Structure 1
Amino acid sequence: MGDVTRRRGGARAVCAVVALLTLAAAPGASAARPPQPRPYALSDEAAEVRGTAEETDAPALRPGLAADRIRPGEEKFYAVTLDAASSAHLAVTAVPEPGSRPAPTDGVQAELRTVSGLLCDMDQASAAGQAAYPLTVATSRIVGPGTTRQCRAEGRYLLHVTRREGGARSDAWPVEVSYLKEPPVRGRVPAPRPGAEEQTDQNNARPSPPTGRPRTVHGGTGFDDAEAVRDGVWRDRFVPGETRYYRVPVDWGQRLYADAEVPGAARKDGSPPPLVAAGLRLNVHNPARAPLDREQFRAWTGNGSRADRYSNPVRYENRSMDAASRTHLAGWYYVAVTVTAPMAEPFPGGVPVTLRIDVRGRARKGPAYAGDARAAGIGVAEDDRKAAGTGRTAGQVRADARLRTLGWTGIGVGSALLLGLAGWFLAARRRSAAAPGGRAPR
């Protein structure tokens, strides 16, 4: 996947460290290069796909993750087969090269359509602030009130992804497609609560940010390797030009407050620090990776910079409301923080970022799904709450689950072998006793 990092184990990292140490020890080695921003990490679980320019040849997407690349001006089609009962959530993350300066006209758009061409949902994002950061757009097919009959029907649908023209550069962007299939619910779908539409951070006073001694965290470079955090204060250090991800379990009825802050800095010669017009950005994504809003960059001055977000309470019925529609799933929410490349001037040794997390409200009982919602990534289990604050990523959790499965499989195979050997031994004893001159077992 070109210059996009894929995590294939620790061997590659060890080799890189050895190479750097060797270079540093070599006679006449030049001064070390400044650290480079880490690129977005595509999941090693993502299936390789090649979207097509023609609808009829579109490759089929299955629930989970897929990876592709897209050039400026290119259009790609992918096919999804939907039943008439489940909802489907598709998110596309396009990844400009870290440290590059995409034009404001560069961006990505996703549309979910029927094969007859009827638009069911669409989303788009542009490279605001002339800064390189992952652009995530999300579409959904919701089975419920407000969805047209054609978009609720069983059959084949098309995910249409477009990369808009962005100027002279013609580099292809890696893309990661997430497909979350949400089971239907049993019984009646709850109606929206009066006033719920107004429970946004624009209409509500922010809570007081958490205080206390910050704990160290190392944010991931994508959704799949996002570090798990919980309530409290966290400290990370960014290479300018990086976007880092953190994940927080948010249950039904709860709301997430996230705050990111970069401190001020003064020059040693007493001159005023440079103004960075687009220095810091924070955004929050739901368990289907859909961004809750299109957050803008915040300027950095000598006094620092700060960005925060206060989500609506997570409720199933939010899906039918415009302002709160993307807080309709409980599970892992993702906090994405971007520090732009120009921040290297006031912070040549790396940018310190303080992250404050507060999950507010009592967890409530969720809807009765007619299927395994947990397997789809919906809901919060006790294991998720324990994982928060340990730094474990989704990839590590999957790896641990595979090891547990292999362990139990090994125990089962071993037990079967022992039982088989015991049965063979008893049968042999019986045959020996039954033979002429055989001695009866004691």
Structure 2
Amino acid sequence: MRGRCRTARGPRAGAWSGRSSTAVRLGAVAVVLATTAAVGPGVAAAAEEVSATPVPYAFADGARSIEGARSTADATPLEPGTTYRSSLPGSGKVSYSLQLDSVSNAYVSVTAVPSPGSTVSVIDGLEVSVQDAEGNSCSFDSVPFGAARSPHPIAAWGMREISPTKPLCRNAGAYYVTVERADPEGEGSSPDPWDLEILAMTEPRTERAAATGAPEAWNSATPQPLQGTAERRRGGAGFTGATPLDEGVWRDGIRPGQTLFYAVPVDWGQQLAVTADLGSIESGATGYTSGALDLDLYNPARGHVAEVNVGYDGDQNSGSLPPLAPVDHANRNAAGGQVSAMRFAGSYYLAAHLAESVADTFGEGPFNLTLRVRVSGEPEGGPVYAGESVPRGAFEVSDQEREAAAEGVPVTGDDTAMRVVAVGGIGTGSALLVGLGVWTVLARRRGVA
């Protein structure tokens, strides 16, 4: 039996307000795409110029700017469902607060974005912890930059869980989120402040008592990488602009220092497997970069799940994420963090980063990146939730998200807004055809003349 937040397999509430609204929105998309096509070569040239200068990170549109406090007594309040932009100084902690009830699980994801040109040590990274008003530790997470020592967006998460096996942090009241660097004074780390993107989410309790143990067995064999002809799909520059992918072989171009984001919808009972290939070059340059390509997987709450690092010597190389457990509500009871993080359905994020040092030996690129994405198993019934998540629909896979993954056009917020930039990498004429194709599919589904 599917959870209440999953009972409506059609559009999310408020996403479409009747046939006329649908026609107007989709018609607007067609007009924008047609206008883009009419502009001609200048737009394409501008797009190429933008892609030649990687964007460090694209923060969520409308993110609210706040300052973290040095003391929990002055902690800045966070509202679940609202995205914030803040900063982390070169040394010391910053704190934020949450007012929570006694029945919902809460998650806070913090994405750190070092400034361009800064340096980081091998063990430097981001640490996020959560405590209750009595000082009890609710969670702790640490995510490093890795062996390549290349500054790029990384995310760590904190949580407050309501569980019979976790007696602490169950009361309603104030909770404190503390953010700091793992090694701010380490050799090779610059003291520059980092930008932060912060998002808090809540997950309702289940109507029935949830399992207190993790699934005993699952297929942990390493699957064969998916084969087939690669299709081009340009990655986004942040979580909110992540390019949707469904099962398939996808090709993109990535430059040294760049991080590309993708979102893969994975439903209850399904198992995700991803392999990343870095293509060879023709220049004949020799050398070796350890950890040249870093591929990180984050769950729908932007909690870190797993990663793989791929070295590079100018020839083809690849690496696969470790075997991942099928999505199951009971995974949260697992002792290992990797299995525990596969705890809910929704969009799982891939962040691919090419180390800055690759340019020193092999040039500025772009380099060919291929992602082989496999989603195994049919969707299963999830838990019956006694309420809605915040933001709404965060822990489900909607029909809009499936359509978006098939077309490569992001679903934004509670609306099926189609972004022109998502198809910017395939030429204006093709973009127009894609936009009109999506318009036709959605129109037919909703009975729009």
TM bucket by the smaller chain? 0.7 to 0.9
1:105 deviation in Å? 4.3
Q: Is the 8 A contact 1:182 1:376 kept in 2?
A: no
Q: Does 1:108 align with 2:121?
A: no
1:168-222 CA distance string (max 9 Å, x none): 63321111112110011101213435524x65xxxx3222222222111110111
Q: What TM-score do you get using the length of structure 1 for normalisation?
A: 0.77
Give the Cα separation in 1 of the matches to 2:62 and 2:348.
19
1:67 deviation in Å? 1.1
Q: Is the 8 A contact 1:258 1:335 kept in 2?
A: no
1:111 deviation in Å? 0.7
Match of 2:232 in 1: 216
Match of 1:124 in 2: 142
Match of 1:37 in 2: 54
Match of 2:293 in 1: 280
Q: Does 1:81 align with 2:89?
A: no
1:316-364 CA distance string (max 9 Å, x none): 0111112211000100010111111222332543111011111111110
1:130-185 CA distance string (max 9 Å, x none): 1112121111111113212x301111000011124145633211111121100111
Structure number with larger C-alpha Rg? 1
Residue in structure 2 matching 1:336, options 348, 351, 370: 351
Match of 2:159 in 1: 140
Cα distance, 1:375–1:72 mapped onto 2, change above 3 Å:
same
Give the Cα separation in 2 of the matches to 1:398 and 1:132.
33
Residue in structure 2 matching 1:176, options 197, 215, 223: 197
Q: What is the aligned residue count? A: 368
- The 5 A counterparts of 1:143-222 are 143-148=162-167, 150-163=168-181, 164-166=183-185, 169-192=190-213, 194-196=215-217, 204-222=220-238
Match of 1:364 in 2: 380
Between the aligned residues of both structures, percent identity stands at: 30
Give the Cα separation in 2 of the matches to 1:398 and 1:73.
40
Give the Cα separation in 1 of the matches to 2:100 and 2:213.
26
Match of 2:305 in 1: 292
1:303 deviation in Å? 3.0
Match of 1:27 in 2: none
Counterpart secondary structure, 1:395: coil
The one-letter amino acid of 1:51's match is: G
Give the Cα separation in 2 of the matches to 1:54 and 1:97.
25
Match of 1:314 in 2: 327
- Which of structures 1 and 2 has the larger relative contact order (alpha carbons within 8 angstroms, sep 6+)? 2
The one-letter amino acid of 1:298's match is: V
Q: Is the 8 A contact 1:99 1:341 kept in 2?
A: no
Counterpart secondary structure, 1:42: coil
The one-letter amino acid of 1:112's match is: V
Match of 1:435 in 2: none
1:385-424 CA distance string (max 9 Å, x none): 11113222243764739xxxxxxxxxxxxxxxxxxxxxxx
Counterpart secondary structure, 2:417: helix
Q: Is the 8 A contact 1:318 1:328 kept in 2?
A: yes
Structure 1 gaps, min length 5:
1-8, 11-16, 23-31, 402-442
1:258-316 CA distance string (max 9 Å, x none): 11100223544xxx6211112111111110000113x3532112432212223210000
Moved over 6 A (4+): 17-22
Give the Cα separation in 1 of the matches to 2:50 and 2:177.
42
Give the Cα separation in 1 of the matches to 2:45 and 2:236.
24
Q: Which moved more, 1:62-71 or 1:225-234?
A: 62-71
Q: Which moved more, 1:253-262 or 1:373-382?
A: 373-382
Give the Cα separation in 2 of the matches to 1:103 and 1:151.
34
Instruction: Let me know the Cα RMSD of the aligned residues.
Output: 2.7
The one-letter amino acid of 2:157's match is: A
Structure 2 gaps, min length 5:
1-31, 34-40, 419-449
Match of 1:301 in 2: 313
Residue in structure 1 matching 2:90, options 72, 92, 100: 72
